[in-house]
Structure 1
Amino acid sequence: MRIRTMRKLHPVAIAVAIAACTSAFANADSCQRPYVEINKLQGATAESPVVGQTVETRGLVLATLYADSKTPQLLLQSLQPDLNDQTAEAILVTDSVLAQKTAPGTILHLRGTVREINGMTALTNTDNSFAATCGKTTAPEPVPVKLPRQTNDSWERLEGMWLSFPQPLIVNDTYTLARFGEVLVADKRLRVATEIEQPGKTASQFEAAQQLSELMLDDGSQIQNPDPVPFVADGLAANRTLRVGDTLRGVQGFLLQTKQGYRLLVSQMPTHDATNPRPSAPPAKTQQELRIASFNVLNFFTGEGKNPFPTKRGASSADELTRQQAKMVAALAAMDADVIGLLEVQNNGFEKGGALQTLVKALNQQVGSDMYQAVLPKEKPGTDDIMVAMIYRSAAVKPVGQAAVKLDGPFSKGSRPPLAQSFVHTTSGQTVTVGINHFKSKGSCPKEPSADSDQQDGQGCWNGARVAAATALNQWLVTNPTGVSTDYQVIMGDFNAYRKEQPIQTLEQAGWQHLANATEVHSSFVFKGRSGTLDHALASKALHAKLQRFAHWSINADEPEVLDYNMEHKTPEQQQTWYAPTPYRSSDHDPLYMDFKF
């Protein structure tokens, strides 16, 4: 552990630290001097009432923070708590020399200047001619705290203090787990507001309430890419993960305020319970059922020319492509779908060696026969680096009509051109038209203010473009672009819009029926600690009536990003132990699948 605390130090280490401190700070007279209690320095407001003033104070050294760095710091706790819930009882001491020489458990007298550092009250510019050790004492018990907090300023009253959480806390984000040793927790699974509520005021209120529930846990180290990775029971490996939805028990630590907000530097590693275990493969379908799936394959690029690597978006080496392909194929094979829509495939043609045919070939090798074929439109699907695509199991369905691509309107820029193909289901003889779509993302906001700027209603940037795409998609499909007329139609893909946002509402208002049960909470993506659904499937009324099951297969979004195919920022050992050619973390989006019975 990188934080030294009174209860974690070996007795010999404590004795050595105290002896060194007594030698360096033998200013016994200071122990007789008057001082200001730490709670008085903190005050009852967001900022100390004595900012900029030089003061003398005395307190218990609660912990040495960042003990593995060149700039350790101390937390000093009040000797006489004032029993006022509005004032914190601890203060940060930034003197790294002092921190290196002083052990937790020491009663320390200091003189310094009070500052606010990123909102954290701290004692700076300490004058070591006044520093003195005035004895030692036992550690206090950590203060029990529960989530959610009552107000936004609740943490201010606890900054610097040793806290414990009697409740189990739910993992909500592991994006910086392997890089910085951080994990976002809350008292519940946090949701994208517009997944649950209408954009605007109600969504804003929903999100504001959620912010009272979350807290970032920090391993207490300033070392990047820590090894072993903290918080994971028995250590991170390809078969040992920390998933969003898992539980951490016995959380204790020291509350700091930083540029990134409040965080808890854990004083001991909490207990990890795998309460959201990895899902097994989707259930087997019957021969009478038609399974259709959609999968964002996260920039499956094979490159171009004699020097294809690094690719523009995907694998940066041939080895990485091999790893990416193996994970992707494992996921596709396990879904056992008859028609699969693909997103973020490199737009480098339909010939041998192109990304699409490479993936189809690898999938067929995995399943042991030339089971799958690619839908091949006559028109190139736009000029973007990525495209949507479609593959099908030739024994289960037969393409009829033409593969149609819409290139104009909102699909000429931003949203990728959609692809539609009609199929005859071999078993039932019924015809189904399938459309795969990828709407404009929320990122890379327009430089000039426009209707596509972030309207601060929860829908992010380019919402206007996505609404236009939804409208145009519906109008296009009404014309039967494949040349085949059928009551059975389904559109699916990455709409880059959450369930209650306008693009999805536009399609539903046009008569498309969402296949996810409205009473259930679905998720296919995790972003900044919020889970939501960007990947949807909507069907015509006639096809919706034939639905047997619908699900997102949660193999990706809940997993730590570091378990993907990439090899950067990993030791040779980690490149092996963190990787497996399995479906888990094959992409950043979860695939979806649906079964119909005619």
Structure 2
Amino acid sequence: MKRHNIALALTALLASSAASADIIISEYIEGSSNNKAIELFNTTDATVDLSQYALQRFSNGGTSPANIALSGTLAAKSTYVLVHSSANATLKGYADIETTDINHNGDDGWVLVKGDVIVDSFGKLGEDPGTAWESGDVSTVNMTLRRKDAVMTGDSNFEDAFDPAVEWDAFAQDTFDGLGSHAGYAGSDPEPEPEPEPEPTEFGVCGDSAHRISAIQGNALSEATGASPLVGQIVIVEAVVTGVYKSGERPLNGFFLQEEDAHQDDDPNSSEGIFVYSPTDTYAPVAGQLVRVQGEVAEYFNGTQLSNISNMVVCAEGQDVTPAALELPLTSRDEFERFEGMLVQVQHPVVVTGTDQLGQYGEFKVADERLMTPTEIAAPGEPAKAVAAAKAARVFRIDDARSVTNATDVPFPPGGLSADNTLRLGTEITNPQGIMHYSFDEYRLLPTQDLQFVDVNPRTTAPAAAEMGDVRVAVFNLLNLFNGDGQGGGFPTERGANNILEYDRQLPKAVAAILGLQADVVGLIELENDGNGENSMLVQLVAALNDAGDSEWAFVNVGGSGIIGGDAITNAIIYRTDRVAETGTGVFTTQVPFDYGSRPPVAQTFKDLVNEDEFTFVVAHLRSKGSCSSSAADGDKDTGDGQGCWNATRVAAVEKLQEWLAGHPTGRTDEDVIVMGDMNAYTMEDPITAMVEGGFTNLKAAFAEEGQATHTYWYRDESGSLDHAFGSEAMTAKVVAAQAWHINVDEPKVFDYNLEFKDIPLDTQYYNEDPYRSSDHDPVIVAFTTVESNPDDDGGTDPDVEDPGAETPEEEHVNIDHATTSSSFPLWFGLVALLMAGFRRRA
């Protein structure tokens, strides 16, 4: 999520205008103990005088920096690494300078200045994020962050929000092997070969004795400690070329060799393949040749290779090798090491389980089956930990074998990636074949044959439940739908679109998704909390729905200005006036814990216009799992059981929600109650259990057909359900379907409304005004039947409903914060001002 906050007044220095950056911050390490480091990178082709620059650290949102003066020079396309002087020996081995001033935590910002002008920044100055700035799987605490290769310009705007996932890739805590290089450039020399070039040995002729690749690779199954036992030695290898990657934009600059079948050893732990780094055209074989090569054994970021090639001859043409058989899951991730550099054939179909880097880097993740969030399928604690531990042995990347970023011709799926040609999670690939390469801390299959995609999870134009039942209700997390000032300006706001161009792409996708649900009542989550005036997001969304569809939409008015609580985002309810009508009072509560973190739930009672059967609809959004701060009590700290932070608060919110609903806050005592929302808890977690134990049915789980996916969210290659629907006993008896509509989670992230890294033609290639990737959550829809009311009972209203009247005084509903008479606002955009001037239309 992108967050934009009001700029803070900082020091005069920080108010200076920006300058173009010769140097950027290229790596950030926030490791265990004193394992802290900052890497700088010279983006230019000339030497830079470091004495003109300084690093400044702003701690805990402070505005008075600690200054680190720099000195010396930094060569073109080179790095400069500053390391805490008490870091461990491994990290200090990368240091250009050691200093106690490199002493940051996850909530500390950094600024790189040239003179008195900012050229780059990390974090948001003047903001204390709590423990860390976080976005997706990228966090500034307990992680190593590397600047994306495509970023060659510093962030000189220290007042904008800091979304670390936009420009940074995350790696595990105490990952150091990326230091000293950036974007393919290593130190002051962009070539990775060791220096000096080794002395040559007797080369011989084809058929003479040679080193076996298995002996060079060794049989230690560890990507971190499994270095070749022959590092630094000159070797001669005679083997078959399985793939050549020396052309195209930023290629791998080399080729792969594999030992002939007859020369492979019997040790299952030793690889028979190896990468040969050969960036020049001097040695350029083709696949299928048997070649004799002389070079030096080297380790490049934990990948074994031959480099400094001094001789090569072709011994034969048209040769092949038998691919190694790969079956998932392996016993551990380390077992991938035995396939490093080898041609492999996966012995079964694999399933696409992650596409977040498909558009940017041309790569995606696969596993033996779709990976699920541990607490989606296992109880928190040891069962969930066991699921999590097995993940690493089940997944690898499929890579287009290019280092180009944001390409216009991503080759996956066949025909090339576009908004009309998607690659969805769950897609099967039949027995892929390719070379298993290790780079950037990941095992990557470089396909040597066309991949055979099987679309077992196609897009749908509407959820199946749209054709079921008498009434349909839904909930949809809009991913921060904010409209600026509502008049085309006011961007960026605290969340959502950066500018009007992005908003004009976001709104049509949201409208398409809501209309596509074909629901009669829709709960909205992460909507801008700016009330119900003519320029509000709620009013303009309803107007857009009425403009685009054939039905008349209205919103539930919760009274007054429509501001709900004090958060930037809110929950809301909209509905079709041709299908249902409000019968109760639109209400919300801000009682603890809905005063902070968990957004106030919103409720209203409706009747369907055919049978006049009443039901109460509630929208909830509980506190998220991230951003544990020092204020978190024991029950809210992340205990490692899989439930994340603030679990106790979410459970308390469930209990308070049920207590609130037991008081019939809408003024109608209907027993047909349905609660829908983003609970920020997966299916097996405590808040979901608390809802069920409180008498509500988990509808999506109860009505899922065998094999039907119920997920609504994706995180770190794992799918799970954060968005749920719960029915009271009476309500559940009427439900005929409850399901997620998979229009967002399964789609590549690159299809969203954002324009970052989408220069022409990508801005149109990856965008349609359709519901797909309109948010990062899938909507949930529930269909149910209604019962014809008895016209002789209670004036023709639902016989299950009692109107408390004088017998249930309003004073008993102390948990109602705002109440109005039943009303709705069916609006057209051109009549908003008139309607808001005083006309209200009865449902």
* Residue 300 of structure 1: how far off its partner (Å): 0.9
The correspondence for 2:460, drawn from 268, 271, 279, is: 279
- Which amino acid in 1 is paired with 2:244? T
Distance in 1 between the 2:633 and 2:253 partners?
A: 48
How many residue pairs are counted as aligned between the two chains? 569
- Residues 140-539 of structure 1 aligned to structure 2 (within 5 Å): 140-283=321-464, 289-304=470-485, 307-368=489-550, 370-378=552-560, 380-446=563-629, 450-451=633-634, 452-518=636-702, 520=705, 521-539=709-727
Unaligned runs of 5+ in 1: 1-26
1:36 aligns with 2:216: no
**SS state of the match for residue 761, structure 2?**
helix
Name the counterpart of 2:69: none
**SS state of the match for residue 209, structure 1?**
helix
Name the counterpart of 1:133: 313
* Residue 120 of structure 1: how far off its partner (Å): 2.4
Q: Are the equivalent residues in 2 in contact too, given 1:28–1:132 (CA < 8 A)? A: no
CA RMSD of aligned residues (A): 2.7
Q: Are the equivalent residues in 1 in contact too, given 2:246–2:254 (CA < 8 A)? A: yes
Moved more, 140-149 or 550-559: 140-149
Q: Are the equivalent residues in 2 in contact too, given 1:292–1:595 (CA < 8 A)? A: yes
* Residue 286 of structure 1: how far off its partner (Å): 7.8
Q: Are the equivalent residues in 1 in contact too, given 2:486–2:536 (CA < 8 A)? A: no
* Residue 390 of structure 1: how far off its partner (Å): 0.7
**SS state of the match for residue 470, structure 1?**
helix
- Which amino acid in 2 is paired with 1:596? F
- Which amino acid in 2 is paired with 1:572? I
* Residue 406 of structure 1: how far off its partner (Å): 1.6
Change (3 A) 1:140 1:418: same
- Which amino acid in 2 is paired with 1:394? T
Distance in 2 between the 1:560 and 1:66 partners?
A: 29
* Residue 376 of structure 1: how far off its partner (Å): 3.2
Q: Are the equivalent residues in 1 in contact too, given 2:351–2:429 (CA < 8 A)? A: yes
Change (3 A) 1:397 1:178: same
Distance in 2 between the 1:539 and 1:59 partners?
A: 68
Name the counterpart of 2:242: 62
* Residue 260 of structure 1: how far off its partner (Å): 3.3
Change (3 A) 1:216 1:448: farther
Q: Are the equivalent residues in 2 in contact too, given 1:377–1:405 (CA < 8 A)? A: no
- Which amino acid in 2 is paired with 1:574? L
* Residue 222 of structure 1: how far off its partner (Å): 0.1
| Identity across matched positions, percent | 34
* Residue 270 of structure 1: how far off its partner (Å): 0.7
Change (3 A) 1:140 1:285: closer
Moved more, 381-390 or 76-85: 76-85
Cα-to-partner distance string for 1:554-597 (whole Å, 9 max, x where unaligned): 11111112222233322433333432222222222111111121
Distance in 2 between the 1:102 and 1:473 partners?
A: 69
Moved more, 212-221 or 202-211: 202-211
**SS state of the match for residue 31, structure 1?**
coil
**SS state of the match for residue 593, structure 2?**
helix
Distance in 2 between the 1:450 and 1:294 partners?
A: 31
Change (3 A) 1:237 1:123: closer
Cα-to-partner distance string for 1:183-204 (whole Å, 9 max, x where unaligned): 1112222211111110111112
The correspondence for 1:595, drawn from 772, 778, 783, is: 783
Change (3 A) 1:285 1:149: closer
Q: Are the equivalent residues in 2 in contact too, given 1:438–1:495 (CA < 8 A)? A: yes
* Residue 369 of structure 1: how far off its partner (Å): 5.0
Change (3 A) 1:528 1:286: closer
* Residue 543 of structure 1: how far off its partner (Å): 0.8
* Residue 547 of structure 1: how far off its partner (Å): 0.7
**SS state of the match for residue 595, structure 1?**
strand
Change (3 A) 1:470 1:103: same
**SS state of the match for residue 411, structure 1?**
coil
**SS state of the match for residue 497, structure 2?**
coil
- Which amino acid in 2 is paired with 1:424? K
Change (3 A) 1:548 1:561: same
Distance in 2 between the 1:285 and 1:305 partners?
A: 32
- Which amino acid in 2 is paired with 1:360? V
Distance in 2 between the 1:454 and 1:388 partners?
A: 26
Cα-to-partner distance string for 1:192-222 (whole Å, 9 max, x where unaligned): 1111110111112223334333221111000
Distance in 2 between the 1:99 and 1:470 partners?
A: 68
Change (3 A) 1:96 1:462: farther
* Residue 74 of structure 1: how far off its partner (Å): 3.4
Cα-to-partner distance string for 1:50-72 (whole Å, 9 max, x where unaligned): 25442423133433346432761
Larger RCO (alpha carbons 8 Å, 6+ apart): 1
The correspondence for 2:276, drawn from 56, 81, 93, is: 93
Cα-to-partner distance string for 1:254-289 (whole Å, 9 max, x where unaligned): 112234322212223312222211123235768971
Distance in 1 between the 2:201 and 2:243 partners?
A: 23
Change (3 A) 1:331 1:43: same
* Residue 166 of structure 1: how far off its partner (Å): 4.2
Q: Are the equivalent residues in 2 in contact too, given 1:415–1:466 (CA < 8 A)? A: yes
The correspondence for 1:78, drawn from 235, 241, 259, is: 259
- Which amino acid in 2 is paired with 1:460? G
Change (3 A) 1:93 1:418: same
Distance in 2 between the 1:286 and 1:111 partners?
A: 67
